[in-house]
Amino acid sequence: MNVVIYTRDMEPITIIDLPLWALELAERRAHVQVEVINPVLLEPTSESVQIQSITARAVTLEFTPIRLGSARSWIITTRDEVLAMLLRPSWLPGQRGSINQYERTVRELSKALVDALSRGAGGN
């Protein structure tokens, strides 16, 4: 389910697709921790490529229940504002078309670049 994560000052940080288990856990507890995995960084050296270890940290999401008529919902906040920005964003339906087009364009340009370099058009 897409949810908006806010700072404690109610500034929106990001929208994520929160798994159902987290919402079910929020029914019993006031907070849930969601893991943030840092990307693997490759650092080339003169002899080999070293891969840094994958590290994981957690963002604590705090759920404050609210009632909208007969419906129950939550305001989800976090104190881990900077870390929350590393969560994988979920796009709203109105944004998805533009994101898909952007991703297609990047794939096409990447393929064209690889093709050009493989034909020797890279200036060599």
Higher pLDDT, 95 or 82: 82
Domain range list for the chain: 2-90, 92-124
Q: How many contiguous H segments (helices) and E segments (strands) does the chain have?
A: 3, 7
The four Cα atoms 111, 117, 123, 124 give a dihedral, to 10 degrees, of 170
Kindly report, residue by residue over 67-83, the tens digit of the pLDDT: 889 988 889 999 999 99
Question: Any residues with CB less than 8 A from the CB of 60 and at least 6 apart, and which?
Answer: 31, 32, 33, 78, 79, 80
Interatomic CA distance for residues 50 and 67, integer angstroms: 52
Question: Is 0.85 topped by the overall pTM?
Answer: no
pLDDT digits (tens, 9 = 90+) for 34-91: 888 766 555 555 555 555 566 678 899 999 988 889 988 889 999 999 999 988 888 7
- Residue 67 bridge partners (DSSP): 72
